[in-house]
Amino acid sequence: MEKLVYEKLNETIYHETLDNGLNVYLIPKQDYHKVFATFTTRYGSFDQSFYDPKTGKKVNQPAGIAHFLEHKMFSMPDKTDAFENLSKFGVNANAYTSFDRTSYLFSGTNNTKEALNYLLDFVQTPYFTTSSVKKEQGIIDEELRMYQDYPSQRLFYGLLQNLYIKHPVQTEIGGTVASIKKITATKLYQAYDAFYHPSNMELVLVGNFDAEEMIHVIKENQGKKGYEKQSEIKRIMPKEPKKINVIHKEIEMSVVMPKLGIAMKLTPEDGQKALKQDFTLSILLDLYFSNSGTYYNDLLKNGLINDSFEYSTIQENGILSIVMTSDTNTPDVLSAKLKQMLLSLKRKKLDETGFERIKRGMFGQFVMSLNSLESISMSFTKYQSFGISMFDIPALIDSITLDDIKKLTKDFNQKRISTLFILPSKVQNQQV
Partner 1 sequence: MILVDQTKKFKTVLITLKFKAEASRETFAFRTLLPSVLRAKTNLYKNRKVFNEKLEEMYSASLTSNTNKIGRLSVIHLQLKLVNPVLVDEALFEEGLKFMREYVYGHNQFSQKDFEVEKRLLLEEVISKENDKTRYALTRLFDEMCKDELYGARVAGTKEQIEALTLAQFKKSYQSFLKNDELQIILSGDVNEAQVKLAETYFPNASFNQTDFLDYETKSVESVTEIIEQDKISQTKLNIGYRLPVRQGDSLHTAAVLFNAALGGYVHSRLFLNVREKHSLCYYISSVYDAYKGLMFLYSGVDAKRLDLAIKVINDEVNKMMTTKISEKELNLSKQALINDLKESEDSQGARQNVLYIQALLNKKASLEERIAKINAVTPDQLLEVGKLLVKDTVYLLDVER
SS3 content of the chain, % helix, strand, coil (to 5): 40, 20, 35
Element (H, E) at 338: helix 331-344
256 binds partner 1 (CB under 8 A): yes
State the minimum distance, in angstroms, from the CB of residue 34 to partner 1.
5
The answer to whether 70 is a known catalytic residue is yes
In the three-class reduction of DSSP (H, G, I as helix; E, B as strand; rest coil), residue 57 is classed as: coil
Q: Which of 224, 229, 301, 347 binds partner 1 (CB under 8 A)?
A: 301
378 binds partner 1 (CB under 8 A): no
297 binds partner 1 (CB under 8 A): yes
76 binds partner 1 (CB under 8 A): no
Q: Is residue 7 within 8 Å of residue 365, measured between CB atoms?
A: no
Element (H, E) at 316: strand 310-316
382 binds partner 1 (CB under 8 A): no
Q: Is residue 169 within 8 Å of residue 46, measured between CB atoms?
A: yes
Active-site hit among 2, 7, 11, 70: 70
Q: CB-wise, 129 or 308, nearer to partner 1?
A: 308
DSSP string, 75-139: B-TTS-BHHHHHHTTT-EEEEEE-SS-EEEEEEESSSHHHHHHHHHHHHT-----HHHHHHHHHH
Stretch that binds partner 1, among 29-37, 227-235, 243-251, 336-344 (CB under 8 A): 29-37
Task: Provide the strand spans (E) within 177-309.
Answer: 201-207, 234-235, 248-253, 259-265
Q: Which of 290, 312, 389, 430 binds partner 1 (CB under 8 A)?
A: 290
Looking only at residues 309 through 328 of this chain, which bind partner 1 when binding is defined by CB under 8 A? 327
Looking only at residues 140 through 199 of this chain, which bind partner 1 when binding is defined by CB under 8 A? 149
Q: Which of 133, 334, 338, 362 binds partner 1 (CB under 8 A)?
A: 362
Catalytic site residues? 70
Site of interaction with partner 1 (CB under 8 A): 8-10, 31-34, 87, 90-91, 107-110, 149, 254-257, 290-294, 297, 300-301, 303, 306-308, 327, 354, 357-358, 360-365, 367-368, 370-371, 373
